[in-house]
Chain A
């Protein structure tokens, strides 16, 4: 079934590590943007050459910071989707929120609009870290926002956390997880802090103003995090994602399994009928309806993607599917080696990466490509 992603490219301010598509012109651009967004949603069946009123079982409003939009605009977006697609009853509808830009009222409105999953950009529960990252919230606000979401009726709450921040230790990270689980968080996305080109963070590192933990130190924290969460029943269903049973993100899973999705809004990506395309990261070009690229995947590319995505999550690689595309992965001698070493598990017609090796999955993927 189809998934829908909506990009909200506005933030109150940029975090030092952020290289995503987000701008600080919400005050002047919000209304305009919503208008074009709705237009894009209405025209999408033409753009992607699909039938009207397709079934949609996941909607994900991401950003940027979607929670800084006026509630009425969030509503407009959801209504537009409802009008043009057939949103299933059990549809997973997620919105990303920053702890400082929500209050109880707003969360209650989200609930009323049918949103059933909140993804909080917590990043850290350490005030110094949050300041360093240029986040607008503090520890207390983070805790309070989760409490409010619970109170507003949300069961499915996820928290984004960063690993690899200065001063972070195995212990401080575990303490943080404990606290969040206590508050009712059922899903974690843990990302390693990455130094992206053109970010203030990159600049600081270059000028030696900060010293980030080494890869080995970060990996240490990451591995401890994975072990700790596993003990508490969290399933590492993707390299960076951990969830209790039943609350794995259906939407993100679509990316990994290779299901179709449409992305609306600035810089959003779509994958429909084996065609990948992307919207521009520029308001003017976006309003004109331009695309930065549209590419039909070749057999080779489909093979590459299937292996690349299948081995970064619990869904695995389908041997038969690859065979039909012309690649007999079982003839790859590296595979035999990996199976012998218990790095890859084979179960009937599927191959799975042992989660202990998620941290080096890229190395393994490269070995298993045709």
Chain B
């Protein structure tokens, strides 16, 4: 049989915890790619954070060899991040495949993201193999779920393998169906070189590594290659595959999946979705579908200890090496000093990056409330893009403000529909439609301001639906909105890092909640401190922190000074976490507090 006929390139798409990584592990184990003793749970999830959160953030492809009917097949599994923040990355890895395994949890059924990812796969012309996972669970209802897939996703599912990735049940069936159901790639290894970059990462020795799928031609060490979008040219220094660790093999041909290195110093020069061709014999048209990823959620990131600005800068630069979608630029806040305004693909991305800064670089940071880009149209005809509330011009200069909105779809058991609609209404949502997918699942569609989603939407949705609802969204442009900036004044001084942009109708209640919350968080000071919320010069809420009356260390008995000194040293450490606004000291938690204005506070 011809070489290319025995290749199967596929990915696994699934809702966040339906078990894509576990299935990937089983496939690797069953094909003997890794001996069992080398297996570590979720082999492909390299980062600690990925293992902990049970999610895939960075893609890792794996080459496996599978023997079937007397033939040796080459499988390339491309793991995908199952989260909305990384939709573009998912779509590029899908573009590198011919087939997709769609995992659906046997008890939970189809979720919002299952559908989103399935459609993404269909859009990329992939053949889809549904797999019902977790049949070991007592609550498993595989037959119903199959029907749900047929009804909701609209693909045949009656012959879907029913497996337990955890226990290793029916994995062989999946392997066989990969051979039978998925087409071999098409392509000509003698044609001009055409490769898709579907991911990249940074290696301290080799520079940026491009993960590629070869569509046509052959790429080998020594080739001079060109990135068609950026126009940059490099010499290929290494070509290899993942088993699942990097293994140099000298060349990759049409249909193959692997990696190349080329002394590329900057990860930003490698753009996911770009096309690689030979510099001296290029193709005329790049592969379709390339787009530059744009961050949609922004927040300020500041070191708790102001002296650690440079360490924070290093940390962000290092993270950026592996994550081209992370955006940051220096920012100065009166309250928080020097830091950065960072842009993220979404809230999960934000959470992951900030957590990695704290963990991997051991830095304590303060993040300000996440915000979105507002389009501010000024009376003089100018349009400003603003994500930092403190940069908003004064109200008299503003003609109108537009905010980004998203098309949100929420999947839920019918009993929570009321609660969800109430929540969406509260978040200024515009109702679109509601569809019963079957008796137990409903899809609700809303147009929601992105700014409301970044506030506390996920938490509220989770608590109102006991975690049963799933949620997905896509950006849907900008729309005008009656937005105002609410400032917080401490002892009469404006604290820029606490300013928020909110809808006019909510300004009063937010202002009140914020001042109340700050009163609880800010410790008493030597003198009374008024906390005010204001729109422009108009005060809309006020609280007062009364003066501190007692702060004495325990008496020292019989000359036990050591204990006292140690207590003092401990408190001194705590003080470092305080920020000073004028004469008022604020603990760093205060800045996060505005992120979580829960329902119960209202």
**Distance in Å from the Cβ of B573 to the closest Cβ of chain A?**
10
Q: Which of B541-568 contact A (CB under 8 A)?
A: 548-562, 564-565, 568
Q: Which residues of A have CB within 8 Å of B551?
A: 359-363
> Is A215 a contact of B575 with CB atoms below 8 Å?
no
Known A269-B559, A270-B559; contact A361-B565, beta-carbon cutoff 8 A: no
Interface residue A239 (Cβ < 8 Å from any Cβ of B):
yes
> Is B562 a contact of A276 with CB atoms below 8 Å?
yes
Interface residue B317 (Cβ < 8 Å from any Cβ of A):
no
Q: Which residues of A have CB within 8 Å of B561?
A: 255, 269, 271, 276, 305, 309
Give the size of the chain A interface in residues (CB under 8 angstroms).
Answer: 46
Q: What are some 7 contacts across the A-B interface (CB < 8 A)? A: A191-B555, A215-B550, A255-B556, A301-B565, A341-B526, A360-B548, A360-B549
Please, how many angstroms separate the alpha-carbon atoms of A308 and B570 in the complex?
Answer: 13
**Distance in Å from the Cβ of B512 to the closest Cβ of chain A?**
25
Contact of B554 among A5, A194, A263 (CB under 8 A): A194
Please, how many angstroms separate the alpha-carbon atoms of A357 and B550 in the complex?
Answer: 9
Interface residue A219 (Cβ < 8 Å from any Cβ of B):
yes
Please, how many angstroms separate the alpha-carbon atoms of A216 and B583 in the complex?
Answer: 23
Measured CB to CB, the residues of B under 8 A from A are 526, 548-562, 564-565, 568-569, 571-572, 575, 583
Q: Which of A1-45 contact B (CB under 8 A)?
A: 5, 7, 20
Q: Which residues of B have CB within 8 Å of A218?
A: 550
Please, how many angstroms separate the alpha-carbon atoms of A328 and B552 in the complex?
Answer: 25
Interface residue A123 (Cβ < 8 Å from any Cβ of B):
no
Please, how many angstroms separate the alpha-carbon atoms of A364 and B568 in the complex?
Answer: 12
Q: Which residues of B have CB within 8 Å of A249?
A: none
Interface residue A240 (Cβ < 8 Å from any Cβ of B):
yes
Interface residue A155 (Cβ < 8 Å from any Cβ of B):
no
Given A62-B558, A276-B562, A362-B551, 12 further pairs, Cβ under 8 A = A20-B557, A263-B558, A263-B559, A269-B558, A270-B559, A278-B562, A295-B562, A301-B565, A308-B568, A358-B552, A362-B553, A366-B571
Interface residue A170 (Cβ < 8 Å from any Cβ of B):
no
Name the residue in A7, A194, A361, A365 with the highest tally of chain B Cβ atoms < 10 Å from its Cβ: A365
> Is B560 a contact of A269 with CB atoms below 8 Å?
yes
A-B contact count (CB 8 A): 87
Please, how many angstroms separate the alpha-carbon atoms of A278 and B565 in the complex?
Answer: 14
Known A5-B559, A271-B559, A309-B561; contact A366-B549, beta-carbon cutoff 8 A: no
**Distance in Å from the Cβ of A64 to the closest Cβ of chain B?**
10
> Is B558 a contact of A268 with CB atoms below 8 Å?
yes
Interface residue A67 (Cβ < 8 Å from any Cβ of B):
no
Interface residue A304 (Cβ < 8 Å from any Cβ of B):
yes
Name the residue in A194, A361, A366 with the highest tally of chain B Cβ atoms < 10 Å from its Cβ: A366
Please, how many angstroms separate the alpha-carbon atoms of A268 and B565 in the complex?
Answer: 17
> Is B549 a contact of A304 with CB atoms below 8 Å?
no
Contact of A308 among B526, B555, B557, B565 (CB under 8 A): B565
> Is B558 a contact of A7 with CB atoms below 8 Å?
yes
CB-based closest 3 A-B pairs: A219-B549, A362-B551, A363-B551
Q: Which residues of A have CB within 8 Å of B555?
A: 191, 239-240
Known A301-B565, A304-B565, A308-B568; contact A362-B552, beta-carbon cutoff 8 A: yes
Interface residue A71 (Cβ < 8 Å from any Cβ of B):
no
Name the residue in B549, B554, B564, B572 with the highest tally of chain A Cβ atoms < 10 Å from its Cβ: B549
> Is A359 a contact of B549 with CB atoms below 8 Å?
yes
Contact of B562 among A192, A293, A359 (CB under 8 A): A293
Q: Which residues of A have CB within 8 Å of B558?
A: 5, 7, 62, 263, 267-269
Please, how many angstroms separate the alpha-carbon atoms of A191 and B550 in the complex?
Answer: 13
> Is A363 a contact of B548 with CB atoms below 8 Å?
yes
| CB nearest neighbor in A for B527 | A341
| CB nearest neighbor in B for A20 | B557
Contact of B568 among A62, A304, A360 (CB under 8 A): A304
Flag A331-364 by CB within 8 Å of B: 1 or 0 each. Answer: 0000001000101000000000000011111111
**Distance in Å from the Cβ of A236 to the closest Cβ of chain B?**
13
**Distance in Å from the Cβ of B583 to the closest Cβ of chain A?**
8
Interface residue A261 (Cβ < 8 Å from any Cβ of B):
yes
Q: Which residues of B have CB within 8 Å of A269?
A: 558-562
**Distance in Å from the Cβ of B550 to the closest Cβ of chain A?**
5
> Is A216 a contact of B568 with CB atoms below 8 Å?
no
> Is A360 a contact of B552 with CB atoms below 8 Å?
yes
Q: Which residues of A have CB within 8 Å of B559?
A: 5, 254-255, 261, 263, 268-271
